[in-house]
């Protein structure tokens, strides 16, 4: 089945939400060989890599992305695995978008785990089962700017979040761990502030470039 645009998407954004921004063929998070299969099976003019598998099976390979580009297919990346691969392959024609992509390009030793989250199987829509470290860090820094917490607690919570394995990392898990040593009025304010104010940079990066990039170019 031919498709003009193929998007590999999972925990960053639901397909239902994505369709409000871009009409495309949506496939589950990409693993090794999936981009090559998409080229063969769907002959798209563009591929957008947002989400990919990390540990449970082989990750999407650099060579298959380069092979797709060599066939004249525009390949874009943002948000999660897409941002990582775009930062690694920007010099070879893969196009990256968003703040997370720019951060990985600037940060030579950036950790892939900063964007990783545990996710449900593809049969259950690959939805997120936790929160990415990069989203937690950016939310904590916003809370500091809003004077909800101070710099000391923000640094302590960032370090604690990093110490939690990505497969278990979430705000709930972070607060449970923090309450053992860091309980106090600042932490209480953060808990009250978070439900309405937390943002996902991964989601923002996936949504913002979609119509302008994957359709107009």
- Please write the tens of the pLDDT for every residue from 11-55: 999 999 999 989 999 999 999 999 999 999 999 999 999 999 987
pTM over 0.85: yes
In 3D space, the residue among 107, 100, 106, 97 whose CA is nearest the CA of residue 76 turns out to be: 97
In 3D space, the residue among 84, 53, 117, 15 whose CA is nearest the CA of residue 6 turns out to be: 15
> Does the structure show a pLDDT above 90 at 200?
yes
Sheet holding 74-78, edge to edge: 25-27, 5-8, 46-49, 74-78, 95-97
Q: How far apart are CA 90 and CA 66, in angstroms?
A: 11
In 3D space, the residue among 65, 45, 161, 67 whose CA is nearest the CA of residue 113 turns out to be: 161
pLDDT band with cut points at 50, 70 and 90 for residue 217? very low
């Amino acid at each position: 089945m031919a498709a003009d645009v193929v998007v590999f998407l999972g925990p960053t954004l639901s397909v239902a939400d994505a369709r409000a921004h871009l009409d495309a063929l949506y496939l589950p998070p990409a693993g090794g060989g999936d981009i090559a299969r998409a080229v063969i099976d769907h002959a798209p003019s563009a591929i957008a890599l947002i989400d990919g598998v990390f540990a449970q099976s082989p990750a999407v390979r650099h060579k298959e992305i380069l092979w797709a580009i060599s066939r004249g297919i525009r390949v874009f990346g943002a948000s999660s695995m897409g941002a990582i691969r775009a930062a690694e392959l920007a010099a070879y024609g893969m196009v990256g978008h968003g703040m997370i992509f720019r951060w990985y390009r600037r940060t030579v030793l950036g950790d892939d785990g900063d964007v990783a989250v545990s996710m449900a199987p593809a049969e259950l829509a690959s939805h997120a089962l936790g929160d990415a470290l990069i989203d937690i860090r950016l939310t904590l820094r916003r809370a500091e700017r809003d004077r909800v917490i101070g710099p000391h607690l923000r640094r302590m919570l960032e370090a604690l979040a990093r110490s939690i394995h990505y497969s278990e990392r979430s705000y709930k898990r972070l607060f449970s761990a923090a309450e053992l040593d860091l309980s106090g009025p600042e932490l209480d304010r953060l808990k009250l502030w978070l439900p309405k104010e937390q943002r996902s940079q991964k989601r923002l990066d996936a949504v913002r470039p979609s119509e302008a990039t994957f359709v107009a170019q």
